[in-house]
Amino acid sequence: MERVRKFVEALEKENIDAALICNVEYSSRPTTMYLSGFTGSLSFLIITTDSQFIVTDSRYFEQAKQQSNFTLVEHRGSNIYDTVVGVLQNIKPKVIGLEFSRISHDMYLKLSEKYQAVYKPIDHIVEQMRMIKEPQEIEFIKKAIQISEEALVKVLPLVKEGVAEKDIAAELEYQMKLLGADGIAFETIVITGPRTALPHGRASERRLRMNEPVLFDFGAKFRGYCADITRTFYFGKPDEEFMKIYNTVFEAQSLALEKGSGRMTGKELDSVARTHISSGGFGEYFGHGLGHGLGLEVHEAPRVNQSNESILPVGAVVTIEPGIYIEGKFGVRIEEDVVIHEDRLERLTHLERKLQML
């Protein structure tokens, strides 16, 4: 309940009487899980200074009782908004906080028509809280990373000439689940040859050929927390051009890992890697940010990019993932997961970063 206490304190500072967390088809599952422990697909959390309610339907009555210590309000009618409004009418909040980024315009209209109040955004409150990880959260992320790395090691011997990207991806996901993952953090990316130039390419029917790269971007989920790892391998013998680009990415990441700290802004850390890549003549081929926050979602705050001029918070977990992508030829990306400390970055990933040939 410490999280709820801090959350309520933040609401009070902004003169918000109650928070309403709307989770429809998992639209706010991360926040719902973070504050209440509930992981189902439908719920409404109503949080005030002295009361916490969870509204859900009959599919989740028992699950809500097991996962959350919030007071369960059982919805049994045809319109769950009526049940939610019934709770609001009992506690009579005048100012209600909503995660506007996670609700539709239609949902907002339904709520505001049924219950008259001032509705204020609280996305920033949730974001600030979730950015800084508790020790237990970091342990869950470490476990997700461990599972992911062990799964990749098991799968690499299967990477042979003629194997399809989809088959490798399926086996990797299977191995992660065998090793204890709740599921996958995102759709597993396994791409080969010129398709490695697609930063977020999907695994396809394409079959691996000799003398071309293989890029894995993958992650397990453990207790709701995500891993996010990328490694680029070479099947065969790489040529001089590939080695130059791989080494440029490797060096850029090494500089970021060495110089990064909680004294830098997201923009400054991004610039460490970006400057090195640009000095090598590949700046135009590094089109995305250096990294992003990692936790209950695979992409969350803080951002490590040219737009973030805020100091990176100590205790946040972020990715460091420089890449170079040459359309029609190949791409290279290496991705590490790190914890931000005041004077350094702590690597959570342990896989070899230097190029491995398969």
Q: What is the pLDDT along the chain (358 residues), one digit of tens a residue?
A: 799 999 999 999 999 999 999 999 999 999 999 999 999 999 999 999 999 999 999 999 999 999 999 999 999 988 999 999 999 999 999 999 999 999 999 999 999 999 999 999 999 999 999 999 999 999 999 999 999 999 999 999 999 999 999 999 999 999 999 999 999 999 999 999 999 999 999 999 999 999 999 999 999 999 999 999 999 999 999 999 999 999 999 999 999 999 999 999 999 999 999 999 999 999 999 999 999 999 999 999 999 999 999 999 999 999 999 999 999 999 999 999 999 999 999 999 999 999 999 9
**pLDDT at residue 349, as a whole number:** 99
| Domains identified in the chain, total number | 2
Of 103, 130, 157, the last residue of a domain is: 130
Distance between CA atoms of 159 and 13, rounded to whole angstroms? 55
Domain membership of residue 31 (yes or no) is: yes
Do 112 and 141 fall into the same domain?
A: no
Concatenated DSSP letters of 272-330: HHHHHHHHTT-GGG--S-SEEE-SSSSSEEEEESTT--SBPPTT-EEEE--EEEETTTE
Do 296 and 224 fall into the same domain?
A: yes
Do 159 and 78 fall into the same domain?
A: no
**pLDDT at residue 281, as a whole number:** 98
Domain membership of residue 355 (yes or no) is: no
Residue-range definition of the domain harbouring residue 115: 2-130
Contacts of 268 (CB under 8 A, 6+ apart): none
Domain membership of residue 239 (yes or no) is: yes
Concatenated DSSP letters of 79-108: -HHHHHHHHHHHH--SEEEE-GGGS-HHHH
Domain with residue 275: its CATH number is: 3.90.230.10
Domain membership of residue 252 (yes or no) is: yes
**pLDDT at residue 258, as a whole number:** 99
Do 173 and 269 fall into the same domain?
A: yes
Sort strands 52-56 and 71-74 into parallel, antiparallel or unpaired.
parallel
Distance between CA atoms of 271 and 297, rounded to whole angstroms? 25
Domain membership of residue 55 (yes or no) is: yes
Do 303 and 274 fall into the same domain?
A: yes
Do 204 and 327 fall into the same domain?
A: yes
**pLDDT at residue 77, as a whole number:** 85
Domain membership of residue 34 (yes or no) is: yes
Output the CA–CA distances (angstroms, integers) from residue 24 to 55, 57, 152, 276, in the order listed. Answer: 11, 11, 34, 44
Nearest residue to 298 (alpha-carbon basis) of 196, 201, 197, 187: 187
**pLDDT at residue 351, as a whole number:** 98
Do 300 and 331 fall into the same domain?
A: yes
How many other C-beta atoms lie within 10 A of the C-beta of residue 258?
A: 11
Do 113 and 140 fall into the same domain?
A: no
pTM exceeds 0.85 for this model? yes
Of 130, 152, 179, the last residue of a domain is: 130
**pLDDT at residue 1, as a whole number:** 79
Do 123 and 249 fall into the same domain?
A: no
Domain with residue 63: its CATH number is: 3.40.350.10
Nearest residue to 303 (alpha-carbon basis) of 248, 340, 251: 340
Do 100 and 213 fall into the same domain?
A: no
Hey, what's the torsion of the CAs at 207, 208, 212, 215, to 10 degrees? Answer: 90
Domain membership of residue 88 (yes or no) is: yes
Domain membership of residue 354 (yes or no) is: no
Do 58 and 154 fall into the same domain?
A: no
Of 65, 100, 130, the last residue of a domain is: 130
Do 276 and 292 fall into the same domain?
A: yes
